[in-house]
Every structure is written in structure tokens, then in C-alpha cells.
């Protein structure tokens, strides 16, 4: 995998950052991804280790040594095929995943881990740039209808996989835009929302019906969960209208911290603040 002696020849390379004065002018991403040469050099560090612990360290079991080797060989198109085989949206994870794969990397025992996350980021950015990410509509329809409740990364991925095998999928979201916590729980400087928007267009092209501003069920009285729904549907109605119902809602239950100053004015939970800020960034009032 990679270059046999690469881990002895090359140091770990980190992604760059835009200058602070430039960052202060907007809320956009400021991380600069690896160029081709840097990504190939980073991939060369992937060892031919007997047990690639990075695979099991990755929550979605990405086939990491394989796409590292393909990048090292310069076969970017095949690399995105391997990456997409386990991960529907590597542009999300390549930006915001805490990279437990790197903590599990064999090199991490006594050296700096392979920059797996930055390589993933490089692969998917090039795939979009070269037009390799395209809709994959089902060739045969099953006639079965599936409701997916919650349009975060789990709901989007589930809807995509179900649609690709031929089911008629409807994706429900209580807020006004698709993305769940990706959309309203992550600041734009960590991940710009255009990445979600183009995946939404791909889902639509694959036959997924998207219904936003629809709440399924009821929220407890006094709930602080963000809810911009204009319509409510009962779970029983979904069971009547669909052959299967998939619940993919994320948790918006905040974890309080009993620390000094917690009761001061101006102290808010992230999910009380971020949805409103991201909405403003999106152009809403």
C-alpha cells in the first residue's frame, strides 16, 4: 500500500489555512486542501501493515489502504469509486469527521499518523471537479414506497441507497432545508452548505422525493428543538401510506454543563444559536 518505504521517507503533511485577515471577511471555509503532489506524498506513507486498524477505526469502514494506494498511483477516478463504496458523502466526513481512523493508524504507535482525512478530502474534491460524481438512478423499480424521517447524513445516505435499488423514497425534514445537523448544527466555516445542496440535487435526480417543513409526530411541550415545520404528519399516517418507515432523526438534546457562570446572561446551547446563525448566513432573516 502506498510506497513500501514511504513512511520512512516522508513526514506527515497538514492541510493549509487561509490568512486570518481573509477569514475575517466571511463565514466560508478556510482550510486549503492538499494539492496533487502533497496528497500523493501523504498517501505514500501508508504502510503495508498486516492488519490495517484504520479500517476498523473508521465508523463507516472506509477501505482506507486501497484508496491511499490508488492516490499514490495517481488513479484518482478509481479512488473515488472505492471511497464511495462505503461512504455516500465523503465531502462531509473529509471536512468534519474527527478522524478516528488516524488515531487507529499503525504509524500512530510511534510516529505521526497518515493524513487519511486530508486524502479523503482531496479525493472527493477532485471527483466533483472532474464530473465523476453523477446521479445513479435505478434501472428497475420495485414498486415499494419508503418514508425516511430526518434528512441529516444518515437520512440522506439511506434515501440514496434505497432509491438506487429501485424503491420510491420520500425524505421528510421538519426544517426548511435538507441537511439536519449538517445544515443547522455545523458552522459554515467548518462546512459550507453548497456541499449539501449539490447532494440534494443528486438525490432528486435519483428519484428521491423531498418534503421539507414537515414534522412527523409531536414535540414535547416547551421543547427547545428547532422546528420550522408548516405541516404535521402522524406516524400512523406514514405507516398507512408507505411500505416501510425509516427513522433517521438526529439528537438535538443539549448536554448541560454544571460549571461556574453557566447561569449568566448570554450563555446558550449551541443548538439554540447555530440554527439561527446558519439561517442568516443562508440569506434568511
CA gap 88, 125 in Å, rounded: 14
For 250-275, the pLDDT digits (tens) are 888 888 999 999 999 999 999 889 99
Find the Cα–Cα–Cα–Cα dihedral 88, 91, 95, 96, rounded to 10°: -30
Look at strands 31-32 and 231-233 and give their pairing: unpaired
By three-state DSSP, how is residue 153 classified?
Answer: helix
Please give the grid coordinates belonging to residue 81.
469509486
Q: Is the dihedral of CA 223, 225, 228, 231 positive or negative?
A: negative
Lowest mean pLDDT among 43-52, 197-206, 230-239: 43-52
For 129-176, the pLDDT digits (tens) are 999 999 999 999 999 999 999 999 999 999 999 999 999 999 999 999
Beta-carbon contacts of 56 under 8 Å, excluding residues fewer than 6 positions away, are: 104
Residue 11: per-residue pLDDT? 95
For 179-211, the pLDDT digits (tens) are 999 999 999 999 999 999 999 999 999 999 999
Its pTM stands at: 0.93
Does residue 219 come out as left (phi exceeding 0), alpha (psi in the -120 to 50 range) or beta?
A: beta
Residue 120: per-residue pLDDT? 98
Phi, psi (deg, nearest 5) at residue 86: -120, -10
Residue 117: per-residue pLDDT? 97
Q: Are 168 and 241 in contact (CB under 8 A)?
A: no
Nearest by Cα to 256 from 271, 234, 237: 271
Q: Which domains does the chain have, with CATH numbers?
A: 6-129 (1.10.1060.10), 145-281 (3.50.50.60)
As a residue count, the chain comes to 285
Nearest by Cα to 244 from 142, 153, 151: 142
Average pLDDT, the chain: 95
Asked if pLDDT for residue 2 goes beyond 80, the answer is no
CA gap 41, 10 in Å, rounded: 7
Amino acid at each position: 500500500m502506498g510506497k513500501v518505504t514511504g513512511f520512512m521517507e516522508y513526514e506527515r503533511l497538514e492541510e493549509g489555512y487561509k490568512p486570518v485577515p481573509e477569514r475575517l471577511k466571511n463565514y466560508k471555509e478556510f482550510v486549503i486542501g492538499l494539492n496533487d503532489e502533497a496528497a500523493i506524498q501523504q498517501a505514500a506513507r501508508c504502510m503495508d501493515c498486516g492488519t490495517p486498524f484504520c479500517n476498523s477505526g473508521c465508523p463507516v469502514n472506509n477501505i482506507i489502504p486501497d484508496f491511499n494506494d490508488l492516490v499514490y498511483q495517481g488513479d484518482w477516478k478509481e479512488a473515488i469509486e472505492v471511497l464511495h463504496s462505503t461512504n455516500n458523502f465523503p465531502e462531509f466526513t473529509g471536512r468534519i469527521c474527527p478522524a478516528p481512523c488516524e488515531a487507529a493508524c499503525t504509524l500512530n504507535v510511534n510516529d505521526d499518523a497518515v493524513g487519511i482525512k486530508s486524502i479523503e478530502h482531496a479525493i472527493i474534491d477532485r471527483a466533483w471537479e472532474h464530473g465523476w460524481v453523477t446521479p445513479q438512478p435505478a434501472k428497475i423499480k420495485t414498486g415499494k414506497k419508503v418514508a425516511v424521517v430526518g434528512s441529516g447524513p444518515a437520512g440522506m445516505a439511506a434515501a440514496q441507497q434505497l432509491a438506487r435499488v429501485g424503491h420510491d423514497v420520500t425524505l421528510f425534514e421538519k426544517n426548511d432545508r435538507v441537511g439536519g445537523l449538517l445544515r443547522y448544527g455545523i458552522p459554515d466555516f467548518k462546512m459550507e452548505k453548497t456541499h449539501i445542496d449539490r447532494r440534494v440535487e443528486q438525490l432528486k435526480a435519483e428519484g428521491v422525493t423531498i418534503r421539507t417543513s414537515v414534522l412527523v409526530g409531536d414535540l414535547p411541550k416547551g421543547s427547545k428543538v428547532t422546528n420550522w415545520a408548516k405541516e404535521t404528519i402522524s406516524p400512523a399516517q406514514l405507516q398507512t401510506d408507505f411500505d416501510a418507515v425509516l427513522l433517521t432523526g438526529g439528537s438535538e438534546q443539549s448536554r448541560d454543563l454544571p460549571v461556574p457562570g453557566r447561569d449568566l446572561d448570554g450563555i446558550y446551547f449551541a443548538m439554540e444559536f447555530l440554527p439561527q446563525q446558519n439561517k442568516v448566513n443562508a440569506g434568511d432573516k
